[in-house]
């Protein structure tokens, strides 16, 4: 059983998104406009203890299953264009995978109902062995990534690295973002930021109304923008590389890095380097921190993607970064990014009682197959077994930000799927 870790938001996006989904409407959001490239203003100072709404309301909406697949109707977004043709996924006869949990045996329909599933996809290579939609969803819907989107950001860092736009992950990130001087990131390397080990004093604690995640939420709720400025306003709590601490602000800084080194909004860079080459079947959308050209993509997890396209992304990693015979990612990236790296080389050492490890914005599952997962609050998972070339995408509408029993049941289902498909071609 996986226990809840009090005081740490292990699978956070921006908790604020949930309240946005129920109370904000940007009827004339200017999606698709480009950033201006203007110089950044000095980082402002934020007071997390003044005028910040109670974060408890950020975890739920009245109808999460509806809200989480209609974000582009509610918030300003930027389009991630797809190509002219989709990479084929072969539909096989649906399989009813059986799994055990809590002393009982269940099937796929049980799993979907018991874990508040909205979309479920099982791939073995490019063969779809199961595809299901629930709670009113269908195959044309875009589903919220929440923090599963962090794994996409990590992948864009890899692509910028392969192009030579980033020299090395060992570089201080301030080499590319000099305005980070004086912040927690002044001496942090890109690798340390990818590993959630920047040493920032930012606090991501959902149940504390004075936590910095609440201020983060309030900035966007007020349509103030400036999430990157907020992220770089924090001082160091400890030297970079000292300790794992999950902070969505780290991914916001990585988003700024991608924007700076490519000279493009990250939505446009993702379209060029990932979405079109991958053969995504539909444009994705990326939430902006304010409407219009000045808005920055919420790198911490503001993607909306179709179920099958989440599957294609997972399959790219299941195949070691190769797609249609071409190496889209650096040859060693998948193995490196999806397993714990120094100094976090042991599983279960990040937080007492929690067995998962962490790579470069991917969660790493213990076991011989070196499995891994992108995951986000309210039950979003892209589970990958690279040995068996299996991908399970499980999207959800959990009422709470994280539900430990449903997480554990999701892993039990994943275990059963990979066991059932072991050795199948």
pTM given for the model: 0.87
C-alpha–C-alpha distance, residues 90 and 74, integer Å: 34
Q: What percent of the chain has pLDDT over 70?
A: 80
C-alpha–C-alpha distance, residues 155 and 176, integer Å: 18
Give the pLDDT confidence score for residue 301 in this predicted structure: 87
Q: Where are the alpha helices (DSSP H) in 207-247?
A: 212-221, 227-231
Quote the DSSP letter at residue 341.
-
Q: How far is CA 8 from CA 63, 68, 160, 170, 415, in A?
A: 26, 23, 30, 27, 26
3-state DSSP assignment of residue 157: helix
Lowest mean pLDDT among 11-20, 280-289, 336-345: 11-20
- State the DSSP string of 144-192: E-GGGHHHHHHHHHHHHHHTTSS--TTSBGGGT-GGGTTSTTSS-BHHH
Mean pLDDT for all residues in the chain? 84
C-alpha–C-alpha distance, residues 123 and 143, integer Å: 18
Taking the domains of the chain in order of start, what are their residue ranges?
Answer: 16-27+61-151+266-420
- State the DSSP string of 48-100: TTSSPPPGGGGS--SSHHHHTT-GGGTS-EEEE---SSPPP-EEPPPP---EE
3-state DSSP assignment of residue 7: coil
Q: Which pair of tokens denotes residue 403?
A: 């539900």
More confident residue, 30 or 275: 275
C-alpha–C-alpha distance, residues 300 and 287, integer Å: 10
C-alpha–C-alpha distance, residues 105 and 99, integer Å: 6
Contact of 57 with 19, CB cutoff 8 Å = yes
Q: For residue 176, name the pLDDT band (cuts at 50, 70, 90).
A: very high
Q: For residue 161, name the pLDDT band (cuts at 50, 70, 90).
A: very high
C-alpha–C-alpha distance, residues 197 and 366, integer Å: 20
Does residue 30 surpass a pLDDT of 60? no
Domain 16-27+61-151+266-420 in this protein, CATH class? alpha beta
Lowest mean pLDDT among 98-107, 169-178, 359-368, 398-407: 398-407
Q: For residue 225, name the pLDDT band (cuts at 50, 70, 90).
A: confident
Radius of gyration of the chain (CA): 20
C-alpha–C-alpha distance, residues 58 and 12, integer Å: 12
| 68-85 pLDDT per residue, tens | 777 776 778 999 999 999
């Amino acid at each position: 059983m996986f226990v809840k870790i009090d005081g740490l938001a292990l699978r956070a996006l921006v908790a604020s998104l949930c309240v946005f989904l129920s109370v904000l409407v940007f009827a004339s959001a200017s999606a698709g406009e480009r950033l201006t490239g203007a110089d950044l203003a000095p980082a402002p100072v934020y007071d997390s203890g003044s005028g910040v709404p109670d974060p408890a309301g950020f975890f739920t909406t009245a109808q999460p299953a509806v809200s989480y697949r209609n974000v582009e109707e509610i918030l300003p977004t930027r389009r991630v264009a797809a190509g002219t043709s989709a990479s084929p996924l072969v539909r096989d006869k649906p399989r009813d995978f059986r799994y055990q949990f809590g002393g009982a045996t269940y099937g796929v329909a049980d799993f979907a109902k018991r874990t508040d599933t909205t979309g479920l996809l099982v791939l073995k290579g490019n063969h779809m062995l199961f595809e299901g939609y629930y709670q009113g969803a269908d195959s044309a819907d875009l589903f919220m990534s929440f923090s599963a989107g962090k794994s996409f950001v990590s992948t864009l860092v890899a692509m910028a690295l392969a192009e030579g736009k980033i020299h090395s992950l060992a570089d201080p990130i301030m080499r590319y973002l000099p305005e980070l001087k004086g912040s927690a990131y002044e001496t942090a390397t890109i690798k340390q930021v990818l590993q959630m080990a920047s040493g920032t004093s930012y606090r991501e604690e959902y149940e504390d109304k004075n936590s910095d995640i609440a201020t983060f939420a309030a900035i966007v709720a007020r349509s103030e923008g400036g999430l990157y400025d907020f992220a770089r306003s924090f001082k160091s709590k400890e030297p970079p590389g000292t300790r794992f601490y999950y902070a969505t602000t780290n991914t916001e800084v990585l988003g700024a890095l991608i924007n700076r080194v490519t000279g493009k909004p990250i939505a446009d860079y993702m379209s060029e380097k990932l979405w079109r080459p991958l053969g995504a079947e539909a444009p994705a959308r990326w939430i902006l921190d304010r409407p219009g050209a000045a808005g920055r993509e919420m790198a911490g997890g503001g993607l909306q993607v179709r179920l099958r396209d989440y599957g294609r992304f997972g399959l790219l990693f299941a195949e070691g970064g190769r797609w249609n015979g071409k190496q889209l990612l650096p040859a060693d990236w998948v193995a490196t990014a999806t397993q714990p790296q120094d100094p976090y080389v042991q599983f279960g050492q990040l937080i007492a009682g929690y067995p998962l490890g962490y790579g470069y914005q991917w969660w790493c599952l213990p076991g011989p197959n070196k499995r891994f997962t992108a995951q986000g609050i309210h039950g979003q998972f892209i589970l990958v077994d690279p040995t068996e070339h299996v991908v399970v995408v499980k999207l959800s509408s959990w009422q709470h930000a994280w539900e430990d029993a449903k997480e554990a049941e999701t892993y039990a289902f994943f275990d059963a799927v990979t066991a059932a498909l072991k050795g199948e071609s």
